[in-house]
Amino acid sequence: VAKSDTPGSGGPPAVLEAVAATVAEVAAGAACIGIGVPGPVSPGSGRMGPASNLTGWTGVVDVAGPVEAAIGVPVAVENDTNAAAFGEHRQGAGVGSDDLLGLWVGTGVGGGLVLDGRLRRGRGLAGEVGHLVVHPGGRRCGCGGLGHLEAYAGRNGMEREARRQHDAGRETLLVDIAGDGRMKSSVFLAALERGDDLARELLEESVEALAAAVASTALLVDIDRVVLGGGFAHRFGARFAEQVGAAGGGLLGGQAPEVVPAQLGDHSGALGAALLALDQYPRQV
Ligand SMILES: [Zn+2]
């Protein structure tokens, strides 16, 4: 395994140079390469963008071309949450299910949809469950929309709500512990353990919102399993998946999909991207 930090400046050229250098460390003998990227991918294009969490990545940029030129083998590019869902489907908690939703709960909420054993891409929008409306007219999402899942279940959205209520005069250990720093998963856990009411409410609302998204997805395309992962979900463990599953059962009864914790951790995206590359370039193998 090779790792490197994302360059903070220099825009897409600097990021792609770092990616190519990191891939080169482990690419010896590879017939093809899969890359999972944190932004929208037009399916099959090898291009990604705009990506709000990468500094300076404001447009659509060719990712595959520069890496192919540097390494010399074909490169497949996929959205990272799509790739992670596919990785779990093939080799993780999704093995045995051909119709599943990967649901990634961290600073935001991402998703990936596998239907009939294939990654559903559509025009690149499929599986973007973080921006499903779970409360029409509700809290403002990081994207500007109202009532999206990510505003209720993403760590950033939960922090915004905690600070809003604190500014309005509500006491909470969340702000006492976090201070001016980021309200990490560990802060939520510590506040919960000490019986903080607001932390408990925000967690309950997160579970309800995730369950609503799971139920809506199940009713639309009939998934039988949800693989729940991401930094925040991982921190709360199997109990979090059980709570979302139980809340989904409350909405759908016996038709609700089972909700299970992801198994591949940080590797699901890289593994899924590699498996998708093998599907895209079978004659290279
Ligand atoms: Zn949104």
pLDDT (tens digit, 9 = 90+) per residue, 15-32? Answer: 999 999 999 999 899 999
Cα 143 to ligand 1 centroid, rounded to whole Å:
4
The yes-or-no verdict on residue 283 having pLDDT over 80 is: no
Confidence of residue 282 (pLDDT cuts 50, 70, 90): confident
Averaged pLDDT for residues 3-18: 93
Give the tens place of pLDDT for each residue, 65-107.
Answer: 999 999 999 999 999 999 999 999 999 999 999 999 999 999 9
What is the residue type of 14?
A
In angstroms, the CA 28 to CA 135 distance is 49
Cα 145 to ligand 1 centroid, rounded to whole Å:
5
Cα 136 to ligand 1 centroid, rounded to whole Å:
12
Averaged pLDDT score across all residues of the chain: 95
Contact predicate 100/226, CB 8 Å = yes
Cα 115 to ligand 1 centroid, rounded to whole Å:
24
Give the angle 121-32-14 at the CA atoms, nearest 5°: 80
Cα 29 to ligand 1 centroid, rounded to whole Å:
41
Cα 187 to ligand 1 centroid, rounded to whole Å:
24
Cα 139 to ligand 1 centroid, rounded to whole Å:
10
Give the tens place of pLDDT for each residue, 110-154.
Answer: 999 999 999 999 999 999 999 999 999 999 999 999 999 999 999
Contact predicate 74/284, CB 8 Å = yes
Give the tens place of pLDDT for each residue, 215-249.
Answer: 999 999 999 999 999 999 999 999 999 999 999 99
Averaged pLDDT for residues 177-181: 96
Give the tens place of pLDDT for each residue, 161-170.
Answer: 999 999 999 9
Cα 284 to ligand 1 centroid, rounded to whole Å:
39
Cα 1 to ligand 1 centroid, rounded to whole Å:
33
Q: Read off the DSSP letter of residue 148.
A: B
Cα 229 to ligand 1 centroid, rounded to whole Å:
19
Query: What number of H helices and E strands is found in the chain?
Result: 10, 9
Cα 258 to ligand 1 centroid, rounded to whole Å:
25
113-121: long-range contacts, CB 8 A cutoff, minimum separation 24: 113/82, 113/85, 113/217, 113/221, 113/223, 114/85, 114/86, 114/89, 115/221, 115/223, 117/89, 119/78, 119/82, 119/85, 119/86, 119/276, 120/221, 121/43, 121/82
Cα 39 to ligand 1 centroid, rounded to whole Å:
14
pTM, 2 dp? 0.94
In angstroms, the CA 159 to CA 17 distance is 34
In angstroms, the CA 132 to CA 155 distance is 16
Contact predicate 111/226, CB 8 Å = no
Averaged pLDDT for residues 248-273: 95
The yes-or-no verdict on residue 285 having pLDDT over 50 is: no
Reference 41, options 112, 104, 116; nearest CA is 112
* Per-residue confidence (pLDDT) for residue 231, from 0 to 100: 94
Cα 131 to ligand 1 centroid, rounded to whole Å:
4
